[in-house]
Amino acid sequence: MTKETASPAGCGARSPGPSWNDYAERDTNPVPDFLIADSSPDLGSAPIAASRYTSPDFFRQECEKMWPAVWQFAAREEELPEPGDYVLYENAGRSYLVTRQPDGSVRAFHNVCLHRGRKLRTESGWAETFQCPFHAFTWNIDGSLNQIPCRWDFPHLADAEMKLPEAAVARWQGYIFVRESHEGPSIEEFLAPLPDHFQRWRHDECVTSVWVAKVVKANWKVTAEAFMEAYHSIATHPQILPFAGDSNTKYSVYGDNVNLAITPFAVTSPHLLDQELSEQWIIDQMIKYNGRSAQANLNITVPMDSTARRELAAVNRQRLGQDAGRDFSAISDAEMIDAFTYNVFPNFSPWGGFPPNVVYRWRPWPDQDHTLMEVRRITRVAPGAPRPPCPPMRLLAEDEAWGSVPELGALGAVFDQDWANLPYVQEGLKASKNDRVNLGNYQESRIRQFAQTLDKYLAR
């Protein structure tokens, strides 16, 4: 192996072997400049407290100070295509009805009857009005009061005062966001630089094709942070090392809210650099175990003068372009095969690139010791083709494995491997003697940014 090399700026040493930028330089087509640029500032090396993952008081502060102030991914446009369609979005003690209006706009109302406090709805659906099942107080889908039974007994309640409280709503690339506070940055400011980056990948051209969720006995931050670094692959996902650049993943952080991991695929992990592995063996292993940019039914032969990376990208340009009704001939190899895993504070992770993409969302469910993790696959729709309806979320039972969902392919087994760690991370943090979590300077820089941003909200 070669010696570790210094980064051009920021937080120090890098993995042995080729960097992601080295692969980008060899690409068949030009790679976008925003992916080449380095954005890895030195965020320090201080430990963070283990108790932030286990303390009920810390969780209470998150619910009171952070969650109401941030934009949260609440729904995709395809979940509510028609006026009257609504999505029940619940998180951190709040409950919202995200509702399509007759003019096509979207509004979000607090899902609480203003009479005796019952939830108006307990699941997503369609409604002409929102009528409380307790006493039949009723609201129109624009939040205005429709009726109060026995109105003679409520002369003290004016219609104007009985509008359902409303949350702020923003829409971007097929995603719908809510924020309890009506003050704060716009969605474009909050997501920056995603609006610039995703101009190229256009998630508004996609629809949800798979949606699976499961509850894990671990804090929401423990769960989210498990998907912010590829460092764990050597122990947790050894089957991907033949075709995934785990420790030479490129990490970038942008401001307070956004970070990015770019993991090169169809290349060998730096941990295996001392082994002679053929390009054909690399692609065969990727087809067997990847499940996103290489499907199990592919049959790819790598010529002697080519690479697994180049051949897989060429196949993907043709097959994915045909499926999407688009010309991908000028698209880079990287954008056809690599994992561009963005994370937006606090709990939204959309992948970039052109293969069917993955979207993560994490929510405390309902306390500091449990998390609902949702995994979506979004698929590009050909121009002029009908947009298929959104499948309902499939909530796995505790004894159901991710790998039991055939639509997830090889990804299901990967999530099961992560699930084997997370409850024991939570138990270990509770048993911590020194109350310290020690992070790597580079490979875990996204986790450090995430923690520092949360601390800024809690300090308000």
The 10s digit of each residue's pLDDT in 83-100 is: 999 999 999 999 999 999
Q: Where are the domains of the chain?
A: 20-47+193-458, 70-187
Cα 59 to Cα 345: distance, rounded to the nearest angstrom: 16
Query: Phi, psi (5° rounding) for residue 373?
Result: -105, 130
Q: Which contiguous run of DSSP H or E holds residue 178?
A: strand 175-179
Residue 214: strand pairing partners: 373, 396
CATH class of the domain comprising 20-47+193-458: alpha beta
* Axis crossing angle, helix 411-419 with helix 422-430, rounded to the nearest 10: 20
* Domain topology for 70-187: Rieske Iron-sulfur Protein (2.102.10)
- 159 HSE (CA, 13 A, CB side): 8
Q: Where are the alpha helices (DSSP H) in 3-94?
A: 20-25, 33-36, 56-61
Q: What is the pLDDT of residues 381-430, one digit of tens each?
A: 999 999 999 999 999 999 999 999 999 999 999 999 999 999 999 999 99
Q: What is the pLDDT of residues 124-163, one digit of tens each?
A: 999 999 999 999 999 999 999 999 999 999 999 999 999 9
Could you write out the DSSP letters of every residue in 146-159? EE-TTGGG-TT--G
Token code pair at residue 178: 């809510």
- Average of pLDDT values for 237-245? 93
Q: Sheet holding 129-131: strands in order across?
A: 129-131, 138-140, 145-147
SS3 state of residue 199: coil
Nearest to residue 206, comparing CAs of 160, 175, 177, 229?
A: 175
Is 70-187 in the same CATH topology as 20-47+193-458?
Answer: no
> Per-residue pLDDT for 170 more than 90?
yes
- Average of pLDDT values for 430-440? 97
Nearest to residue 363, comparing CAs of 142, 161, 63?
A: 63
Q: Which contiguous run of DSSP H or E holds residue 203?
A: none
Residue 303: strand pairing partners: none
For CA atoms 28, 30, 35, 36, give the dihedral sign. positive
Nearest to residue 9, comparing CAs of 345, 340, 251?
A: 251
